[in-house]
Amino acid sequence: MSAHEVAVVIDPARFDAVVFDMDGVVTKTTVAHRGAWKRLFDEYLAEAKGPDEPPFDDRSDYLEYVDGKPRYDGVRSFLASRGIILPEGDPSDAPDQETVCGLGNRKNVHFRAHVRDVGVEPYTTTLEFIASLRAADVRVGLITSSRNASMVLEAAGVQHLFEVIIDGNVAAERGLPGKPDPAVFVEATHALGAEPAAAVVVEDALSGVAAGRAGGFGLVIGVARDDNVDELAAGGADVVVLDLEAVTVG
């Protein structure tokens, strides 16, 4: 049976809460993130290593090193893969500073410009799934490593759908480590009045399904937006779908 033929049913008698990742699950922002990362790293690699250095691959490099991770972790992870170690710097670093934080802030400039100029669309099937959950009194939360969550959710018109939102700013304030550590999912689940064993994680990132598995969640759903069904299954997803239209409540 292929991924799009899998029928997943969320039983409200078993599950009290569902926690969604934002980018690529609720909002169509993955293209903007990929473009921002590629622009950042291609420019930096050319400066640091010269024109013969292979560019950032916006599929394989993106999925392995930056997808789902806090911004500075993504910078650090990808640069290490190319043998580059930079000073950590400070979150207040200017975008032109050659530090982990400076490069992360430069990526954020590119991303915010895209959201401002192009806007953000939600996935219609995700909204339909959330409506079904709310109608069945299953509580709904959202996590994201992004510090731009309020801007993105407002641009997509979906901020009101979530009872609890744990974004990159909240995680930093509370000292919560990023994915693949399950801390943000656990924090959101507890804020919803549920325990991980009675909650569902919905993720499109390898780091996210790994976090769901590590956190002992009752069900981890992987959403394969990148033709990466096998990778998500191997990484920790209990079930993988191509779109949330395959998931119902009942």
Active site residues: 21, 23
The residue with tokens 């394989």 is 60
The answer to whether residues 217 and 195 touch, using CB atoms and an 8 Å cutoff, is no
Closest CA to 23 of 205, 151, 182, 171: 205
The answer to whether residues 98 and 134 touch, using CB atoms and an 8 Å cutoff, is no
Determine the 3-state secondary structure of 21 from DSSP: strand
The answer to whether residues 131 and 122 touch, using CB atoms and an 8 Å cutoff, is no
H helix runs in the chain, sequence order = 30-49, 60-61, 71-81, 100-118, 124-135, 149-156, 168-174, 183-191, 206-214, 229-235
Q: Which residues, listed in sequence order, are joined to residue 27 by a DSSP beta bridge?
A: 23, 122
- Cα gap 57→104, rounded to integer Å: 17
Instruction: Report which secondary-structure segment, H or E, holds 18.
Output: strand 17-21
